[in-house]
Amino acid sequence: MPQATPAMNDDIASPFGFPAVIGKKVTAAFDGGRLTSDGGVLLLAQAERAMGICRRLAGCIADPRDPGRVVHRLDDILRARVFAIACGYEDADDLDALRDDPGFRLALGKLPESGAGLASQPTMSRWENAPTTRELARRMAQMIGVYCASYPAPPTAVTLDIDDTCDVVHGYQQLSFWNGHHGERCFLPIHVYDTATGRPVAMLLRTGKTPSGTEAAGHIRRLVRHIRRYWPDTGITIRGDGHYGRPEVMAFCEAAGIDFVFGLPTNAALRAEPAIVAAADACAVRRAERQAPVLRSYAEARYGAKSWNRQRRVVARIEASTLGMDIRYVVTSLATGSAEHIYDTLYCARGQAENLIKRHKSQLASDRTSCRSANANQMRLILHTAAYWLMWRVQQAIPRTLALATAEFVTLRLRLLKVAARVIESASRIRVAFASACPDANIFRALATGLRPAPT
């Protein structure tokens, strides 16, 4: 049975009090027995078992340990770390306090009161720093495989949003760089999402400067190559802001048969384009005639910058208001669809990717990239993405008619993971007694049944 240190026993045994209630004294102590505050980790365990994420990741790393002396399997080490991240314990240090938590022990297939506990923080940290660059590349390829496997059949077409985000560093770490736009020394990791479904696709740690066209094209080329191994016939559309509307990126997409919708920074040639100028003047006149505070219009033209190898379709969103004229541009390979549809329906939908990035960073703390080594920080990014996948999988199992089906991850964590439970182990069985007053008991029970793997 796991043993607490003497200091822990003293702290647990020390009672403390609360204000009296109706004349009765209220005392408390942490002596309730085999209780867990994270009963919902068992749901995560079923989701992970079905998806096999940690098994995939563990298979990418060489394990030089003597098999006869191994206490914690590599996939269990990763599994414990990913479960902890999903439950809100974003640092490896937290694993020292969770080693004997009965909920986490059950989630990892261990008895709650006997045998070795979870791996400690030093073990976690060693494995975060262990993978080589080549092994990390294999892991990122496996994460793309998880994305493709999440579809029961290859889809007809997908739209992938690519963007980078500021990840402020905590010192002079590898790949850290001063970014004048953000006013911070930071990383600018690239995030790729299947935004329509909320699925994460790939996350790549990189230096804190804006990616060049050559670099962005290289990342997209490798991403497409991995996806094509699973989906050779699926139509792929890459969508991004002006960072990615570079000649090298567009040339690759056209050569590879990939569609794209990218933001396009304005310049003097675009502002002088006759079709766009005429549409902008007409929009301004109509707004003035109607006395409207704002009026929107659209136009398109064939445009070719000096650095481009051909002319391409450019769509302009024109907005005339009492404050003046505002024109935004998008370049696309799509030949069909009106200018309004291209901008408002296709391009503006990438705004949801910003919300998914915030979810990844703020709700799963994936910006805790405080290691000195760039490889260790990339490893952390992969582990946090694995936690994202588990939260996404749990959410997908919730009936669409319920509000939790579209809730943020922090809400799912509060309502479904942070559920108190008493774990009772007898000679022949283990019983998990959840709180009788749990407000989401019916949903929890349905998820436990729905996430149960099919018998083999």
Helices (H) and strands (E) in the chain, counts: 17, 16
- What's 398's DSSP letter? S
For the record, the structure tokens of 269 come out as 């040639």
Give the pLDDT mean for 365-388.
95
d(CA 362, CA 441): 27
pTM here is 0.92
Q: Where are the alpha helices (H) located in 372-415, listed in sequence order?
A: 374-396, 409-412
pLDDT surpasses 50 at 106: yes
Cα–Cα separations (whole angstroms), residue 8 to 61, 78, 92: 36, 27, 20
pLDDT tens readout for residues 397-423: 999 999 999 999 999 999 999 999 999
Give the pLDDT mean for 157-176.
93
d(CA 146, CA 52): 8
Q: Which residue has the tokens 């006869």?
A: 68
pLDDT surpasses 70 at 5: no
Which pairs with CB-CB distance under 8 Å and at least 24 residues apart come from 131-138?
131/60, 131/61, 131/375, 131/379, 132/375, 133/375, 135/60, 135/61, 135/62, 136/375, 136/378, 136/379, 136/382, 138/60
* Confidence (pLDDT) at 4: 52
* Distant-in-sequence, close-in-space partners of 214: CB < 8 Å, separation ≥ 6: 248
d(CA 377, CA 166): 14
CA atoms within 13 A on the CB side of 438: 22
pLDDT surpasses 70 at 455: no
Q: What element of type H or E holds 312?
A: strand 312-321
- Are the C-beta atoms of residues 131 and 375 closer than 8 Å to each other? yes
